Structure 1
Amino acid sequence: MVKHPMKPTSYSYGHSDQVRRRLLELSQERGASLASLSELLGRNTSYLQQFIRKGSPRKLEEGDRKTLARFFGIGEEELGAPSEFPEEKSYNFWAKPAKQSDWIDVERLDIGASAGPGAVPVTEAPFDSFKFSRRWLAEQGLSGAQLSAITVEGDSMDPVLRDGDEILVDRRTQPFRDGVHVVRLGDTLMVKRVAQAGAGRFSLLSQNLAYPPVDVSADEIEMIGRVVWKGGRI
């Protein structure tokens, strides 16, 4: 008797196909490229493109699945995790759109914050927006944050922030604490690590040691907001 090699069941193929479609759908809804999502996972920029288009790897690793699920504010089962209650599982989950109220639009402003010698913003008008999951923002401690997205220009914050990175700035008025902030010095918008340097004074610190610290008094600068997230190409 000739034994035929076992073929995969239609369920295992179909389920993997659903996961790929769902991931592509989520990335398009969010306006996040597959390359940027791959970067979020610490992978090569083509990693998720190959997963969706070529089926390689065949399934997402658990750590990658967890990270993506948190980013999109969804359950891991939508990205291939086993269901706790498989007998009650509906395999049409991928077709269910997220509610509009589950997302927050964050304006992308047509300005750059200098991570170099300094840049004068031309306009502060929004030209586009990102969609962020309310759940993800809450997990990051950003519920109620007043967020805007702007672009980093220059290399003084390299490698923490690179030229062309987009950063989320929380513009809420809140007590100052050391960290990476967007500040206005005269007519110049800058992104720097800001530290207190005594009563009424601050140091604007660059990550790139080629740029010396700049000491300023509190009345010389305006604190625009704290940098709470970044995104960019590898």
Structure 2
Amino acid sequence: MSTFATRLREARTALKLSQMALAKRARVSQGLIHKLEHEGDGSTTRLLQIAEALNVRPEWLANGEEPRRWGSPKLMGADEAHLPKGTPQKTEPTAHGYTLIPRFSVEASAGPGNEILQEEVLDRLAFQTAWLEEKNLDPRFLGIIQAMGDSMTPTLCDGDTLLVSMDQRQAMDGRIFVLRSSTGLFVKRLRILPGLTQLISDNDKYPPYEIGIDQSDQWEIIGRVIWVGRELL
């Protein structure tokens, strides 16, 4: 029976990575990788970072739970406990031609997946109603969340504000989507290939996730990223 240490070594060598190269991808020390390959037990707090760098599921890396890699993004349907996917939201029109869009207390990882702990409306941001109409965006299906991590730089940066259209859940090649897996929310660019979907990080130091078409129950699309805003300090 394989152990965490042997699975870690197997996944690393399959990508032809040295311990140092893996450490750089996962943003950890080479000493940690060496230690985990000899006496690791899957309880490391860096599990998600290492799994993403290896393009494997953290559940497989930690305890051998199959499948090894992620499944294919779903196009419809989901647990409604977190982000209100596909459900019309209450919006608040304002005077002077603006519509208020809710900002939720969840983050989408542009790095290792961010665990979803809760979701509530923090506040609302104003967007020009004419601009929303020009882009054919229904404000009832819009929500605002925050990006976390660096895997989508330079397109998206840590702390960026993302406007997400939660009625646009049809996978589209080359577009950026918020997706959910069992480990949290991710924001990735989709690449649609015959029999395969890849989740692409715009930061080329992160390898793509390869998702087989026969593994359709591991991921679901929450919505498409329409707009990004950031502070320049």
1:207 counterpart residue number: 202
Task: Output the TM-score relative to the length of structure 1.
Answer: 0.54
Paired with 1:198 and 1:186, the residues of 2 have a C-alpha distance of: 25
Residue aligned with 1:138, SS: helix
Q: Map 1:35-54 to 2 at 5 A.
A: none
Correspondence for 2:182 among 186, 189, 194: 186
Paired with 2:119 and 2:157, the residues of 1 have a C-alpha distance of: 21
Do the aligned residues in 2 keep the contact of 1:112 with 1:119 (CA within 8 Å)?
A: yes
1:82 counterpart residue number: none
Residue aligned with 1:111, SS: strand
Correspondence for 1:154 among 146, 149, 152: 149
1:18 counterpart residue number: none
Correspondence for 2:128 among 133, 141, 162: 133
Aligned CA RMSD, in angstroms, stands at 2.0
Q: CA deviation at 1:176?
A: 2.5
Per-residue CA deviations over 1:47-73 (Å, capped at 9, x if unaligned) read xxxxxxxxxxxxxxxxxxxxxxxxxxx
2:219 counterpart residue number: 221
**Paired amino acid for 2:190:** V
**Paired amino acid for 2:134:** E
Task: Tell me: CA distance 1:186–1:99, structure 2 relative to 1, closer, same or farther (3 Å).
Answer: closer
Do the aligned residues in 2 keep the contact of 1:194 with 1:202 (CA within 8 Å)?
A: yes
**Paired amino acid for 2:192:** Q
Gaps of 5+ in 1: 1-97
Do the aligned residues in 2 keep the contact of 1:148 with 1:171 (CA within 8 Å)?
A: yes
Paired with 1:134 and 1:226, the residues of 2 have a C-alpha distance of: 19
Correspondence for 1:232 among 215, 230, 233: 230
Q: Decide which structure has the larger Cα Rg and report it.
A: 1
Task: Tell me: CA distance 1:174–1:152, structure 2 relative to 1, closer, same or farther (3 Å).
Answer: closer
Paired with 1:198 and 1:103, the residues of 2 have a C-alpha distance of: 42
Per-residue CA deviations over 1:144-182 (Å, capped at 9, x if unaligned) read 561100000000000000000000000005533121000
Paired with 1:120 and 1:208, the residues of 2 have a C-alpha distance of: 21
Per-residue CA deviations over 1:88-125 (Å, capped at 9, x if unaligned) read xxxxxxxxxx9638332211100110001211022111
Paired with 2:94 and 2:144, the residues of 1 have a C-alpha distance of: 23
1:198 counterpart residue number: 194
Greater length-normalized contact order (CA 8 Å, ≥ 6 residues apart) = 2
Do the aligned residues in 2 keep the contact of 1:205 with 1:214 (CA within 8 Å)?
A: yes
Task: Tell me: CA distance 1:143–1:119, structure 2 relative to 1, closer, same or farther (3 Å).
Answer: closer
Residue aligned with 1:137, SS: helix
Do the aligned residues in 2 keep the contact of 1:150 with 1:168 (CA within 8 Å)?
A: yes
Paired with 1:137 and 1:222, the residues of 2 have a C-alpha distance of: 25
Paired with 1:145 and 1:99, the residues of 2 have a C-alpha distance of: 14
1:164 counterpart residue number: 159
